[in-house]
Amino acid sequence: MLRLDFSHPQPLFTSQATRHIEAAAAAALPPCTLMERAGQATARLAMAMAPHARTIWLACGSGNNGGDGLQAAAALRAAGRHVVVSCLADDAQQLPPDARQAWLRARHAGVEFASQPPSLGPQDLCVDALLGLGLTAHPRRHPADARLLQWLEALHSGTTPVLSVDLPSGLMADTGQFAPGLTPGGPAIAARYTLALLTLKPGLFTAHGRDAACCVWFDDLGVGNAGTSPAAWLAGAPRPSSRPHASHKGSYGDVAIIGGEGVGPRGMGMTGAALLAASAALHAGAGRVLVALLDGVADATTVTSVQPECMPRRFEALALDGGVTAVAGCGGGIAIAAVLEPILLQAGRLVLDADALNAIATDGAMARLLRARASRTDRATVLTPHPLEAARLLGVETDAVQADRLAAASELAARFHCAVVLKGSGSVIAAKGHTPRINPTGNARLATAGTGDVLAGLLGARLAAVPATLDAAFEAACSACWEHGAAADHWPGSSALTALKLARTLTA
Ligand SMILES: NC(=O)C1=CN([C@@H]2O[C@H](COP(=O)(O)OP(=O)(O)OC[C@H]3O[C@@H](n4cnc5c(N)ncnc54)[C@H](OP(=O)(O)O)[C@@H]3O)[C@@H](O)[C@H]2O)[C@@H](O)CC1
Ligand SMILES: Nc1ncnc2c1ncn2[C@@H]1O[C@H](COP(=O)(O)OP(=O)(O)O)[C@@H](O)[C@H]1O
Ligand SMILES: [K+]
């Protein structure tokens, strides 16, 4: 059993692949072995988490997730703990075969069964074994058992810590969305832990997964992956960079930030977005940072007063075909559309963010130019949409993107022949020929204006230092997401996270 610390990559398997792994393992083992192991693992973790619990309440469903809970109850009882089980199945016959054995074992062990949760305090523990991999968006039984909803609510809003078995009940393993009708009312009050069994599932790490699962532990139940391919990888920490002594600023590339519409065209100034990206690129180690503000009136001091190391440029004075890495769109407004064509045609390495993405979503000719870049061996492009920008690019609603973030990122990568970062909690990085990655770092302190511009600038710096290939762009995007999130994770609790401060904490 291990507690995930996000330093190493971890394979993530869909529910279908997990079923395959489970079936292969079960066929090679005596009956009930996997469920006994699941129960033992759950009991061990429960005792480690709440060594002073007076009572451990196990809420068990009427499938095999409930069976895991019943096995855990028997193991906890055998270890001398006071356990109370509430089970949605009224008798063993309502349970699938392995879970039926677990029920009988719990009964024989003298576990107390109760139809309502016992009285619990903050030192006690709840075990959530109501729903696991078998959760479906459209259940067979309508309406759901009233006790299910009541117990989910008790788990969610109580002051007692909760250990979820395999998955937080109600969360769908593949997408990190809650099944209809099972979305919790608000943030959980007490600490939450999840013990994933057999495999780690993508839904634990993206969309609502991170809030629902919180601290994730993993036990493979002594079973291998049966040669099954993961649907995604949880990204690991990038290798620390080292700079050879015999290097110079030219070794780390030029980054050109193009964006920052002024107040003039529409009365909505976004100069700051470009400056944030520039500051991020600089601090992340770009050799030189050039800034082309799309603002007819801005003079050089607009840039240099924020960051004197950055070099202001008129757009026409950027030698886009001279090996510069372009980061286009940050605060680009409508002005970016006018310069997008030369950017798409000439820039070798390119990050497209924000308004550049919106321009492509509404202009078929630009979309064609973007796709055509893939036919050149000296081109690498990364798109960094947030869910709304992704929805515009795909011509769907934001909810449809969020409903399956892995699928949406992969579809964008396939449609535009680029590497893609679909931002948000558990950013998804996708590119053709690569298994998608989910970034495990970052937190809601990043939910403040300008942090996406910082990511774009950081990514520009990473991209500038690698070959202009899709593979290198994919790796650069993974590194940038990890570093961006880690900077927020290490943020001092006493200080507000703002985008410029974030940019200035980045390192080469
Ligand atoms: N077998 C083994 O050896 C091993 C099994 N393992 C464990 O088994 C778990 C998978 O078990 P599973 O397949 O039985 O499904 P499970 O998660 O219990 O859910 C089924 C229940 O949920 C219900 N339900 C579904 N959707 C619903 C909804 N929207 N709203 C309301 N209810 C809904 C559904 O109701 P029904 O559709 O039948 O009416 C049924 O009662 C896995 O996560 C892991 O913990 C592992 O430890 C490895 C060893
Ligand atoms: N709740 C969150 N958890 C993790 N990361 C987040 C969260 N909210 C925002 N972020 C990250 O912060 C950045 C915000 O980007 P974006 O929405 O483009 O903002 P802006 O356009 O204001 O710069 C993205 O990298 C996103 O993944
Ligand atoms: K569960």
- The conformation of residue 95, written as its DSSP 8-state character, comes to S
Per residue in 327-349, pLDDT (tens digit) is 999 998 899 999 999 999 999 99
Q: What is the pLDDT of residue 296?
A: 72
Overall average pLDDT of the 229-250 stretch? 95
For residue 56, being part of any structural domain is answered with: yes
Q: Do 225 and 299 share a domain, yes or no?
A: no
For residue 395, being part of any structural domain is answered with: yes
Q: Is 323 in the pocket of ligand 1 (CB under 6 A)?
A: no
Per the prediction, the chain carries an average pLDDT of: 96
- Secondary structure, 3-state, 456-473: HHHHHHHHHCCCCCHHHH
Overall average pLDDT of the 206-220 stretch? 98
For residue 333, being part of any structural domain is answered with: yes
Give yes or no for residue 300 having a pLDDT over 90. Answer: no
Which of 283, 351, 306 has the alpha carbon at shortest distance from 487? 283
Q: Do 87 and 48 share a domain, yes or no?
A: yes
Q: Do 150 and 78 share a domain, yes or no?
A: yes
Tell which atom from ligand 2 comes closest to the C-alpha of 426. Answer: 4
For residue 243, being part of any structural domain is answered with: no
Q: Cα–Cα distances in Å, from 20 out to 25, 174, 226, 229?
A: 9, 15, 8, 11
Q: Cα–Cα distances in Å, from 40 out to 65, 102, 231?
A: 14, 12, 28
Q: Do 128 and 262 share a domain, yes or no?
A: no
Q: Is 172 in the pocket of ligand 1 (CB under 6 A)?
A: no
Q: Do 192 and 315 share a domain, yes or no?
A: no
Contact, 508 vs 482, CB < 8 A?
no
Q: What is the pLDDT of residue 372?
A: 97
Contact, 85 vs 111, CB < 8 A?
yes
Q: For 58-93, b where at least 16 C-beta lie within 10 A, e where not — what string?
A: bbbbbbbbbbbbbbbbbbbbeeebebbbbbbbeebe
Q: What is the pLDDT of residue 267?
A: 87
Overall average pLDDT of the 140-146 stretch? 81
Q: Do 228 and 325 share a domain, yes or no?
A: no
- The span from the CA of 360 to the CA of 367, in Å, is 5
For residue 239, being part of any structural domain is answered with: no
Beginning with the edge strand found earlier in the chain, give each strand of the sheet holding 428-430 in spatial order.
10-12, 232-234, 437-438, 428-430, 419-422, 380-383, 349-352, 325-328, 254-259, 288-293, 311-312
Q: Do 289 and 196 share a domain, yes or no?
A: no
Q: Which residues are annotated as a binding site for (6S)-NADPHX?
A: 64-68, 166, 273, 329, 386, 453
Q: How confident is the model at residue 226 (pLDDT cuts 50, 70, 90)?
A: confident
Q: Is 441 in the pocket of ligand 1 (CB under 6 A)?
A: no
CATH number of the domain to which 226 belongs:
3.40.50.10260
Give yes or no for residue 194 having a pLDDT over 90. Answer: yes
Which of 357, 384, 390 has the alpha carbon at shortest distance from 280? 384
Q: Do 76 and 188 share a domain, yes or no?
A: yes
CATH number of the domain to which 342 belongs:
3.40.1190.20
- Beta-bridge mates of residue 262: none
Q: What is the pLDDT of residue 268?
A: 87
Q: Do 54 and 112 share a domain, yes or no?
A: yes
Q: How confident is the model at residue 118 (pLDDT cuts 50, 70, 90)?
A: very high
Cα angle at 425 between 187 and 231, to 5 degrees? 115
Per residue in 64-82, pLDDT (tens digit) is 999 999 999 999 999 999 9
Which of 327, 371, 375 has the alpha carbon at shortest distance from 350? 327
List the domain range (segments joined by +) for residue 319: 252-489+496-505
Q: Is 142 in the pocket of ligand 1 (CB under 6 A)?
A: no
For residue 360, being part of any structural domain is answered with: yes
For residue 381, being part of any structural domain is answered with: yes
- The span from the CA of 268 to the CA of 335, in Å, is 12
Q: Do 214 and 279 share a domain, yes or no?
A: no
Per residue in 454-483, pLDDT (tens digit) is 999 999 999 999 999 999 999 999 999 999
Out of 197, 232, 267, pick the residue that ends a domain: 232
Q: Do 293 and 227 share a domain, yes or no?
A: no
User: What domain count does the chain have?
Assistant: 2
Out of 232, 265, 292, pick the residue that ends a domain: 232
For residue 338, being part of any structural domain is answered with: yes
Out of 198, 232, 266, pick the residue that ends a domain: 232
Q: How confident is the model at residue 141 (pLDDT cuts 50, 70, 90)?
A: confident
Tell which atom from ligand 1 comes closest to the C-alpha of 179. Answer: 29
Q: Do 484 and 364 share a domain, yes or no?
A: yes
Overall average pLDDT of the 164-183 stretch? 97
Per residue in 359-410, pLDDT (tens digit) is 999 999 999 999 999 999 999 999 999 999 999 999 999 999 999 999 999 9
Q: Is the peptide bond before 143 cis (omega within 30 degrees of 0)?
A: yes
